[in-house]
Amino acid sequence: VTVGVLRERVERERRVALVPNDVGKLATRMRVVVETGAGAQAGHDDAAYAAAGASVLPRADVLGGADIALAIRPLADLPREGCTLIGFGGHDPGYRARLEAHGVLHLALERMPRITRAQAMDALSSQASCAGYAAVLEGARHLDVMLPMLTTAAGIVRPAKMIALGAGVAGLQALATARRLGAQTWGFDVRAAAAEQVESLGAKFVGVETAPSAEAAGGYAVAQSDDEQVRLRRALAPHLDGMQLIVTTAQIPGRAAPLLVDDDMIARLAPGTVIVDLAAETGGNTSATRADEVVECGGVIILGPTDLPSRVARDASMLLSGNMRALLAHLVGSDGALRLDREDAILGPMIGAQALPAPAEAAAPPQPV
Ligand code: NAD
């Protein structure tokens, strides 16, 4: 089996799907071909891939020669018919349909089931941790106050107040990061199970009574009704008073992000408050969020970065590559054969309703440059 690693082409995307260290670990089971420059922005040059045993090739040869292609972001140019593509894009039915029409099977990373066996392959979680960390640094950069308490001869700086709205993987990492920087921290979530996790990080849990069925299978939240959302926002609003950094991370899989902070709530915040909205790509958790823009509303700054894991591209790539390595080891047996099984507990949900491609003729082996 030949695995192809593509260079990401989306603006500001600096990660790479497989790092040289993992190429070396996979080399006994599969051949790895890497597009020229694929790892350059994540700290890995072509020579490092070659030294790890990969062939470094032009894009067309990787697209045309790979049995399994790895691309983090959705592709404009597709791999050959019969290829299996691993990457994000699973929530975009148009993209999935285009791949299927082209005879490419998409293993969508965001559809990976949250079962213990798949934990090592869970790219959503590894990248959410990176995003939570980077969100706090990004927010801190826009604040006009410091996060830690400082006692100096000239006076005392009070610790900043930070709250994470949505205390899943990203929110918990944001809380941990803000606390390490010295902020006072609070966490809010609709899942009752999040309370214990928030408190284990030394943050206070903001309890707002929610419907008892707020948690779905796999640890995800369920969508709230419109009335319930209005009620939640009313209950949440007073808890935002005095907060200086607000990191919002609330997501409902496959749906638009819930609105947690509306116009009235933004108007109530003190000028200088910074909101970092991690849900900008799915519509945002605030009424003012614009993806990849800095919006100012009455002195409140709202950031909607969609490239946070890329801000720490080397570590984000290392973790993502670990997820890919585990998934590839699951797909390709020690005999080197590719197994695509719709009944498999991990692959089944990632494949969904797509047609499995007919076994392709062995492609001509690509030549190293
Ligand atoms: P996510 O990215 O889908 O959502 C982020 C958070 O937003 C979640 O905690 C969710 O409850 C919360 N949220 C949704 N709507 C909200 C609203 N209206 N108000 C406030 N909060 C809202 O979720 P995630 O971070 O990827 O994962 C959530 C949980 O799933 C984790 O904390 C963990 O317990 C579990 N998990 C399990 C596995 C596994 O078993 N393999 C892997 C990863 C995560």
Per-residue pLDDT tens over the stretch 201-212: 999 999 787 666
Separation between Cα atoms, residue 29 and residue 220, nearest integer Å? 35
Measure 222 CA to ligand 1 centroid, in angstroms. Answer: 10
Q: Is the predicted pLDDT of residue 76 greater than 60, yes or no?
A: yes
Confidence of residue 355 (pLDDT cuts 50, 70, 90): confident
Q: Taking CA 243 as the corner, what is the angle to CA 238 and CA 245, rounded to the nearest 5 degrees?
A: 135
ipTM for the complex shown? 0.95
220 or 291, which is more confident? 291
Measure 218 CA to ligand 1 centroid, in angstroms. Answer: 9
Task: Name the residue at shortest CA distance from atom 38 of ligand 1.
Answer: 114
Measure 124 CA to ligand 1 centroid, in angstroms. Answer: 11
**Would you state the pLDDT for residue 254?**
80
What's the rounded mean pLDDT across residues 211-215? 64
- For 36-40, 213-217, 280-284, 317-321, which range has the lowest pLDDT when averaged over its residues? 213-217
Q: Which of 126, 191, 213 to mutate to test the pocket of ligand 1 (most atoms within 8 A of CB)?
A: 191
Measure 250 CA to ligand 1 centroid, in angstroms. Answer: 7
Q: Is the predicted pLDDT of residue 365 greater than 70, yes or no?
A: no
Confidence of residue 222 (pLDDT cuts 50, 70, 90): confident
pLDDT averaged over every residue in the chain: 94
Task: Name the residue at shortest CA distance from atom 41 of ligand 1.
Answer: 114
**Would you state the pLDDT for residue 367?**
55
What's the rounded mean pLDDT across residues 7-19? 97
Q: Which residues line ligand 1 (CB under 6 A)?
A: 114, 119, 122, 124-125, 128, 165-171, 188-191, 194, 219-221, 224, 232, 249-253, 258, 260
- For 61-65, 165-169, 257-261, 359-363, which range has the lowest pLDDT when averaged over its residues? 359-363
Q: Is the predicted pLDDT of residue 156 greater than 70, yes or no?
A: yes
**Would you state the pLDDT for residue 157?**
97
What's the rounded mean pLDDT across residues 160-167? 98
Task: Name the residue at shortest CA distance from atom 39 of ligand 1.
Answer: 114
What's the rounded mean pLDDT across residues 3-8? 98
- For 96-105, 181-190, 343-352, 357-366, which range has the lowest pLDDT when averaged over its residues? 357-366
Per-residue pLDDT tens digits for 94-148: 999 999 999 999 999 999 999 999 999 999 999 999 999 999 999 999 999 999 9
Ligand 1 atom nearest residue 252's Cα = 3
**Would you state the pLDDT for residue 369?**
46
Confidence of residue 362 (pLDDT cuts 50, 70, 90): very low
| Predicted TM-score of the model (pTM) | 0.93
What's the rounded mean pLDDT across residues 345-355? 93
Q: Is the predicted pLDDT of residue 359 greater than 70, yes or no?
A: no
What's the rounded mean pLDDT across residues 11-40? 96
Separation between Cα atoms, residue 305 and residue 138, nearest integer Å? 9
Q: Is the predicted pLDDT of residue 16 greater than 50, yes or no?
A: yes
Q: Is the predicted pLDDT of residue 20 greater than 70, yes or no?
A: yes
**Would you state the pLDDT for residue 268?**
96
**Would you state the pLDDT for residue 363?**
47
Confidence of residue 334 (pLDDT cuts 50, 70, 90): confident
Amino acid at 12: R
Q: Taking CA 17 as the corner, what is the angle to CA 251 and CA 23, rounded to the nearest 5 degrees?
A: 145
